[in-house]
């Protein structure tokens, strides 16, 4: 009888332990599922917000943070209402918070103005007695200097061309084609750069991809692919400080340089 009582007590104690472990496992499983669902919703919300801003031409507005369905934006004040309305209209978005940052306002690039070569006025003696032995090379008008082209900028960790970048490249392609008419030996050097975020290897590959995407877009606009050369420089040669977001935005660029053949 004593052995039966001890066996009964052991079975009675083991039962509650198994239920406790089962309940703990259920709680941990539900926690993991809930966290994974929240992370998935936040990722989808972030993607939708970025795409909506890009489609609306608001590429100067950044998605600072996404917590589940709450989105934090940052950008210049003149597009605050448009950006807030664009993101608020998304089905996944619950609230939108906007921080004004005027450093992200676009600065229009000045139109390149080719330097006009003024023809010297002939002296009285020259006008009275023009030299009959002038060779064609002496009377040819020199070709205008090659224009300087604006840089093309990219989002962090991205080599995709924004809406604004495509619009700028359309104008750059027209400028290159015009220059080709007077400089048939023209070459186009395309150099990609990045900010200091990421590893050296990642930035090297990213900057080369940026340069190649710019080349491919110009080729689609009828710029001969054979005259274009691409190089990726990683985070070398920054034009602004990498300690601020506005500085890093200026460093995420592709520079296009024209050279006479």
pLDDT in tens, 14-35: 456 666 676 777 777 776 656 5
Q: How far, in Å, CA of 127 to CA of 231, rounded? A: 52
For the stretch 182-216, pLDDT in tens is 998 999 999 999 999 999 999 999 999 999 999 99
Q: How far, in Å, CA of 221 to CA of 170, rounded? A: 7
Three-state secondary structure call for residue 126: helix
Question: Which parts of the chain fold into alpha helices (H)?
Answer: 2-55, 80-88, 124-128, 136-139, 163-182, 200-220, 245-251
Q: Which domain holds residue 233?
A: 146-259
* Between residues 111 and 55, the one the model is more confident about: 55
For the stretch 56-114, pLDDT in tens is 888 778 887 888 788 888 888 888 888 888 878 888 787 888 888 877 777 665 555 55
- Do 196 and 94 fall into the same domain? no
Contacts of 82 (CB under 8 A, 6+ apart): 56, 58
Cα dihedral angle (10, 14, 16, 20), rounded to 10 degrees?
A: 160
Residue 154 has pLDDT above 50, yes or no: yes
Read off the pLDDT of each residue in 149-175 and give the average, rounded to a whole number: 95
pTM as predicted? 0.49
Number of domains present in the structure of the chain = 2
CATH code, 193: 3.30.1330.60
In a domain, 160, yes or no: yes
Q: Cα–Cα distances in Å, from 27 out to 24, 30, 36, 150?
A: 5, 5, 14, 57
Q: Report residue 12's pLDDT band, with 50, 70 and 90 as the boundaries.
A: very low
Single out the residue in 54, 77, 104 at which a domain terminates: 104
Q: How far, in Å, CA of 253 to CA of 42, rounded? A: 29
- Residue 178, pLDDT score: 93
- Do 81 and 155 fall into the same domain? no
Contacts of 212 (CB under 8 A, 6+ apart): 230
Mean pLDDT of the chain: 81
């Amino acid at each position: 009888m004593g052995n039966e009582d001890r066996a009964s007590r052991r079975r009675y104690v083991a039962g509650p332990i198994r239920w406790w472990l089962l309940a703990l496992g259920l709680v941990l499983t539900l926690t993991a599922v809930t966290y994974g669902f929240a992370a998935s919703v936040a990722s989808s919300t972030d993607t939708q917000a970025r795409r909506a801003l890009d489609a609306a031409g608001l590429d100067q507005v950044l998605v600072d943070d996404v917590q589940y369905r709450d989105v934090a934006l940052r950008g210049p004040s003149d597009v605050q209402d448009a950006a807030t309305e664009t993101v608020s209209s998304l089905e996944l978005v619950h609230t939108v918070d906007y921080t004004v940052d005027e450093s992200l306002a676009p600065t229009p690039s000045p139109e390149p103005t080719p330097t006009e070569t003024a023809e010297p006025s002939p002296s009285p003696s020259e006008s009275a007695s023009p030299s009959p032995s002038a060779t064609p090379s002496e009377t040819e008008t020199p070709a205008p200097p090659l224009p300087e082209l604006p840089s093309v900028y990219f989002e962090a960790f991205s080599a995709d061309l924004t809406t604004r970048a495509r619009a700028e490249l359309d104008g750059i392609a027209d400028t290159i084609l015009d220059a080709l008419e007077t400089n048939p030996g023209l070459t186009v050097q395309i150099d990609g750069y990045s900010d200091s975020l990421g590893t050296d290897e990642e930035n090297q590959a990213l900057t080369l991809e940026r340069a190649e995407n710019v080349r491919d877009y110009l080729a689609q606009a009828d710029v001969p692919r054979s005259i274009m050369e691409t190089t990726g420089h990683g985070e070398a040669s920054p034009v602004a400080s990498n300690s601020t977001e506005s500085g890093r935005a200026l460093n995420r660029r592709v520079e296009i340089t024209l050279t006479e053949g």
